């Protein structure tokens, strides 16, 4: 198996979205019976969808996919998160697969499928279905404040796995990806990557992550500081950077974002993890961010710095910081609304039959429950 990747090719392979389709969409907005700019941000979203689809009128979004990359991180052992370092990520993966996690509940509401890709969860692969673990690179990762997260060969394998996932989704007909992550300690890793790429110190990029207190924040800040010292010498080599201070999930997300741009597959970014990977990807192909939208602001300082560098404006300011793609998923209805409004009326899906609600069961009165009737 070839485990090399030529990053330089992405600059030529990633094209800009279709400007002529965008202009046609903007003209179509003017033709609709409404006040000028009366639909506000939906108009810009619809024009962007036209450009990434390369057509106007746009196609309604009917095949959204929530894609969650999962991996454990060695820095979690330092207690930088309120979530348990041992078993915490595996537990969250199980909740998504069982359909009980918030992202699974919301995905059902919005008509999106959910897919989990395990790159480095610290659990036996037998715990998860084969389709979840078939891209796994390793079990867990190194503690990035004192050692590399991955070998360069592992980082390359993870990067190529992300590219393969992008091809799989594009070939399957997915029309928009809601990108998320599952991993305890991942906001610490993201802060290191963003701090290194933006040239800031640890305090400026270290956030509260899972809701940590001041004492834990100081531990996290020191961890980011020590990791930044290891990141700066390899800033010129993105794969080496991901190997030294990233992780298999970060490398895979970066590869996924770039190959999605090549395949003209639009992506909605979620939290600070996807923002960090987007920043790495921008270093490789500067046009790639034009294929992405920032779903929401989490309140993490590192995310704000990354979006400023990427010139992306969050669609919503919900401060949803739990990961799992939840914040980005909450932006999906906005994109669906923009697409439906700008599409041909005959192309917009309609509900042809409404089920008759069942009669609710009769509840006993308090007196009956007490045996008084």
Tell me which residues are annotated as active site: 324
How far apart, in whole angstroms, are the C-alpha atoms of residue 25 and residue 58? 8
Q: How far is CA 220 from the centre of its chain?
A: 23
How far apart, in whole angstroms, are the C-alpha atoms of residue 18 and residue 105? 34
Strands 176-182 and 292-294 turn out to be unpaired
Strands 64-71 and 113-120 turn out to be parallel
In the numeric block, which tokens belong to residue 311?
């010139």
Tell me how far apart the terminal alpha carbons of the chain are, to the nearest angstrom.
Answer: 76
In the numeric block, which tokens belong to residue 322?
């739990």
Quick check: helix, strand or coil at residue 87? Answer: coil
How many separate helices (H) and strands (E) can be counted in the chain?
17, 5
CB-based contact 162:252 (threshold 8 Å): yes
H or E stretch at 69: strand 64-71
CB-based contact 307:279 (threshold 8 Å): no
On the 0-12 / 13-18 / 19+ scale of CB atoms within 10 A, 39 is middle
How far apart, in whole angstroms, are the C-alpha atoms of residue 75 and residue 321? 19
List, in order, residues 6 or more apart from 148 with CB less than 8 Å away.
142, 230, 243, 244, 245
Quick check: helix, strand or coil at residue 85? Answer: coil
Cα dihedral sign for 10, 11, 13, 16? positive
How far apart, in whole angstroms, are the C-alpha atoms of residue 35 and residue 33? 7
Quick check: helix, strand or coil at residue 70? Answer: strand
CB-based contact 255:233 (threshold 8 Å): no
CB-based contact 287:321 (threshold 8 Å): no
């Amino acid at each position: 198996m070839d485990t090399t990747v030529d990053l330089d090719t992405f600059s030529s392979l990633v094209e800009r979205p279709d400007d002529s389709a965008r202009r046609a969409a903007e003209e179509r907005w003017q033709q609709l019976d409404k006040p000028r700019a009366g639909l506000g941000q939906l108009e810009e979203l619809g024009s962007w969808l036209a450009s990434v689809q390369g057509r106007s009128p746009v196609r309604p979004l009917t095949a959204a996919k929530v894609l969650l990359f999962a991996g454990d991180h060695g820095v979690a052992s330092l207690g930088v998160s309120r979530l348990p370092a041992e078993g915490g990520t595996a537990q969250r993966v199980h909740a998504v697969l069982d359909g009980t996690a918030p992202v699974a509940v919301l995905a059902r509401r919005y008509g999106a499928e959910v897919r989990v890709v395990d790159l480095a969860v610290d659990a036996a692969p037998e715990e998860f279905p084969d389709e979840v673990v078939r891209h796994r690179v390793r079990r867990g990762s190194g503690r990035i404040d004192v050692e590399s997260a991955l070998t360069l060969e592992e980082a390359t394998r993870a990067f190529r796995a992300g590219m393969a996932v992008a091809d799989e989704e594009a070939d399957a007909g997915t029309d928009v990806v809601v990108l998320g992550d599952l991993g305890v300690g991942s906001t610490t890793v993201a802060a290191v990557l963003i701090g290194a790429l933006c040239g800031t110190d640890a305090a400026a990029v270290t956030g509260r992550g899972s809701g940590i207190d001041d004492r834990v924040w100081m531990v996290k800040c020191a961890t980011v500081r020590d990791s930044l010292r290891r990141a700066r010498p390899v800033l010129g080599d993105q794969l080496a950077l991901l190997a030294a201070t990233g992780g298999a999930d970060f490398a895979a997300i970066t590869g996924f974002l770039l190959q999605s741009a090549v395949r003209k597959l639009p992506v909605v970014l979620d939290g600070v993890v996807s923002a960090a990977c987007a920043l790495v990807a921008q270093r490789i192909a500067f046009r790639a961010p034009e294929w992405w939208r920032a779903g929401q602001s989490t309140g993490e300082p590192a995310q704000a710095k990354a979006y400023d560098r990427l010139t992306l404006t969050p669609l919503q300011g919900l401060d949803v910081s739990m990961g799992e793609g939840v914040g980005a998923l909450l932006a999906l209805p906005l994109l669906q609304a923009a697409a439906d409004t700008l599409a041909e009326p005959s192309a917009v899906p309609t509900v042809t039959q409404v089920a008759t609600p069942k009669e609710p069961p009769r509840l006993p009165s308090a007196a009956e429950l007490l045996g008084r009737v």
